Amino acid sequence: MQTAIKGYDTGKHAPGRREGSATEPYLAAHHQILAHAKAVSIYKSKYKEKQGGQIGLVVDCEWAEANSEKSEDKLAAARCLDFQLGWYLHPLYYGDYPQVMREKLGNRLPKFSEEDKELLRNTMDFVGLNHYTTRFIAHATDGPEEVFFYKDQEIERIAQWEGGEMIGEKAASEWLHVVPWGIRKVLNYIAQTYNNPTIYVTENGMDDEDDSSLTLHEVLDDKLRVSYYKGYLAAVAQAIKDGVDVRGYFAWSLLDNFEWAEGYTKRFGIVFVDYKNGLSRHPKSSAYWFSKFLKGDENKTGKEN
């Protein structure tokens, strides 16, 4: 999803297209979906019997929470999820895009031929989920969203509770707030909508600013990231107790790295990389917390974790 929107709508990522934003994101995604299906078809026919591997597709999704009890806001939140998850998963599970996308986009949304639909069948052994944050969603026919993708949905994405309090503590990126309960909801939504598939959380994490004014000790003491992982992992565990078939979890990321168009200005790593001193690496507090957590050291991580 991100490559289609940011490559062919906002123009923020390569190939930097904006001119065709009314149609190109949907065309790009269409060919991504077909390419996935074709790759699975080739693998199954030539290699699966020998290798016994599995193939899935990774989707990126914020949780969309209705901003109020109004039916129009609830429908807007449902549209948002269809445009995020359903855009890729509906064709692979049900053979076509969600009906609401057809209604909102009309001829701008490509069509699958019968041959395409046959190719799409049984091409998912698991769903990979990239999830970072949550937004409140309100219906808005003329909202403030600048991205055509969100205008098409007729929604407004909101990061505040009704009283003005932020939905969660803010990370470095303007779009990323710490909202652990959102991942439990999106995992349950996938399970309920797509017949409880096997799910791997393929990305989950938060970023800090690259701030050269901080001392190394200050940089490594990433208390908010520790809190983030505690909350989100607890929410994943709750989803598993709910019956969701989550088989794995991957933190994003092990190392600070080159972050899309933001370059080295955002740091997602649990290990600090010193870009100015030979790329030396220093584990942050979150790395030590993960080490203790994975060893099951309850005396040091807390029994509630």
Task: Classify residue 268: in a domain, yes or no.
Answer: yes
Tell whether pTM > 0.75.
yes
Res. 302 pLDDT band, cuts 50 70 90: very low
Query: pLDDT band for position 300 (50/70/90)?
Result: low
pLDDT for the residue numbered 298: 52
The verdict on residue 275 lying in a domain is yes
> What CA–CA distance (Å, rounded) separates 105 from 99?
10
277 within some domain: yes
Within a domain: 155: no
User: 50-56: which pairs have CB atoms within 8 A and are 24 or more residues apart?
Assistant: 54/125, 54/126, 55/123, 55/124, 55/125, 56/124, 56/125, 56/126, 56/127, 56/128, 56/198, 56/200
Inform me whether the pLDDT recorded for 139 exceeds 50: yes
Which alpha helices (DSSP H) does 163-265 contain, by range? Answer: 181-193, 216-220, 223-242
Q: Could you give the number of structural domains in the chain? A: 1
| Three-class secondary structure of residue 59 per DSSP | strand
Residue 46 lies in a domain: no
Backbone angles phi, psi at 76, to 5 degrees: -65, -40
DSSP class of residue 170? B
How confident is the model at residue 45, as a pLDDT?
93
Structural domain span for residue 239: 195-305
Exposed e or buried b per residue across 116-126, where buried means at least 16 C-beta atoms within 10 angstroms of its C-beta: beebbeebbeb
- Which range (115-119, 147-151, 257-261, 277-281) has the least confidence? 147-151
The arithmetic mean of pLDDT across residues 217-228, rounded, is 98
| Spatial CB neighbours of 78, under 8 Å, sequence gap ≥ 6 | 64, 100
Computed over every residue of the chain, the mean pLDDT equals 94
- pLDDT per residue over 224-273, tens digit each? 999 999 999 999 999 999 999 999 999 999 999 999 999 999 999 999 99
Is 294 within a domain?
yes
Look at residue 213 and tell me if it is in a domain. Answer: yes
Residue-wise pLDDT for 48-107, tens only, equals 889 999 999 999 999 999 999 999 999 999 999 999 999 999 999 999 999 999 999 999
Q: Do the bridges between strand 199-203 and strand 271-274 make them parallel or antiparallel, or are there none, so unpaired?
A: unpaired
The tokens describing 248, both together, are: 């794995």
Q: Is residue 42 part of a domain?
A: no
